[in-house]
Every structure is written in structure tokens, then in C-alpha cells.
Amino acid sequence: MTGIVARRFLWLVLTLWAVFTVTFFLMRAVPGGPFSTERKLPEITERAIAAKYRLDDPLLSQYRDHLGAALRGDLGPSFSQLDYRVGAVIAEGLPKSLLLGGVSLLLALFLGGMAGWASALRPRSLLDTFVMGTSSLGLALPNFVIASLLVMGVAFPLSAIPVAGWGGARHLILPSLCLSLPYAASIARLLRTGLLEACSEDWFRTARAKGWSRGEALRRHALRPGSIAVVSYLGPAAAGILTGSLVIEQVFAIPGVGSHFVQAALDRDYPLAMGVVLLYSLLVGTFNLVADLAVLAIDPRGANASGGAE
């Protein structure tokens, strides 16, 4: 277990370095700059701004300085929000993004778990067909289409549900639904498949032969092995929900990290865009590691196999 964590941590560090390097050079390869405007600034002003933010240094020198500062936890000032440093901007928006992502993940687990359980309880029934058809539709529709459908079908008829903005719990209803539905569809399909595979085992048929109902046998014997695929999926799902909030935060005017990232890309705000990309990369790697450790905890055979490989 310790070897797995150490190896994954090393890969996470290497991934963050690769993301930093690629993002740094790609942003500076795009035409235009953070202080480019439709009205050309006087040359002396442009030189003063470049000198202040060291944009006139050689590119490799800028890379070395920014990498060293990032290792110290200093991502520098925001070019678009001149009164704030990148860390302060991220700290202001991150709680909103994490709250939205956490609610969406819990909602996806609840909806997908209930649907997958109901489908496995009555396989090849009308309910099973409806759940699988609905989940396929949920996987096919992109977030912005789901957002439009929910706004027209829910927010307009029910005026108590706000369409956009950030405030109370009511503002979380539509965006969390938009984020959770595609992942709930995947969870439902994975749980159904896992439970039905467990139902084909001899021990499940033995439990049924003892007179147990299908639901009781599923709960007591099939739920743990049948949920391994769902637990494995939670890491990528959490990362996908968080990165998917980039679009949803723009659609519903939520002042989270995602909206800051989109605006930073439009404004060529190098430090802020870099900070958000690194943050998302760190969260993705962390979520995947936690999901892998959870799978090893559920399935001891995987832990033993990994320990033998060490």
C-alpha cells in the first residue's frame, strides 16, 4: 500500500511539472498578450508594463523564475485583476466550485445508485429498459444541452428556482443537476452490470436457494463486489465534475474557479490561467489516488496482488 501511494505521488509530481511546462509555453505561443488592447498603448508604457511583470525577459528565464516561484507556492499577481494575487483569486472561488462539485457528486451517487439498484433488482423488465434508455440519453447529451432543457422545463415553470447567480441552496439546484446527470447515468450502468455479474456466482444462487429474496441476496452478498467498478469510477467522476463546472459556472453565472479560468483565458492572464490549470491537475490526481485506495480497501485481493508486485 505504501509503495502504491509513493509511486502515485511521484507520478503526480511529474504530471504537475509537465502540465506547468506545456501550459507555460502554449500560452505564450498564442498571438497577443495580457496587456494587448484594441487601442495601441504608447511604446514607453508597453516597455514599463513589460519590465514590471518581467515579460521582456528571455522566455527560458521567465520559465525558470515562474517554476521556482510556483514551487514556493507563489503564483504571482493576476494580470486581469491587478489588485489581487492568483492565490487570493483561487481562494475566493474554490469554495464555491468545491461545494457545487461535492453536491453534484453526492447527487450523482444517489440517483445513479438508486437507478442501478432498481434495474438490477428487475433485469429485463420495463423498468430496466427505461433506466438503461434514460442513462444512454444522459450520457449522450452535453452539459449545456441539459442546462438548457432544465432551464426551460424546470426553472421557467417553477419561478422559485433561480436560473443563475449565487446565493442560497436554491441556486445549487439547476447547476448540480446539470453536472450530476451524466455521471449518475454512468454509475447506474456500472452498478447494474456489477450486480448482475455477482448474481451469476454460485454463492448468490446458494443464497437464493436458501429462500432469500433477490433484494436481500443482492444487499448482503452482491452489493460489495458489484460496487467495485462504481468506486473505481468515482475518481474520474469527481475530476470530471470539477472540470465540467467550467462550462456550468459560465452558464449559471457562478463565481467559482471555472469562471475565473474562462475569463483568464480570454484576457491572456498567464498567472491566473496557470494557477487554475495546476489546481485542477492536482485535484484530478488526488481524486484518482483516493479512488484507487478505496478500491484496494473494498477488494483485498487487489491489495494483495499489488503488495506482491512490490
> 13-47: per-residue pLDDT in tens?
999 999 999 989 988 887 766 666 555 667 776 67
Whole-model pTM: value is 0.77
pLDDT at position 299, please? Answer: 66
pLDDT at position 309, please? Answer: 35
Regions of the chain with pLDDT less than 50: 302-310
pLDDT at position 305, please? Answer: 39
pLDDT at position 269, please? Answer: 83
> 135-162: per-residue pLDDT in tens?
888 888 887 788 888 888 777 777 778 8
pLDDT at position 16, please? Answer: 92
Residue ranges of domains in the chain, CATH in brackets = 95-265 (1.10.3720.10)
**What count of Cα atoms within 13 Å lies in the side-chain half-sphere of residue 126?**
0
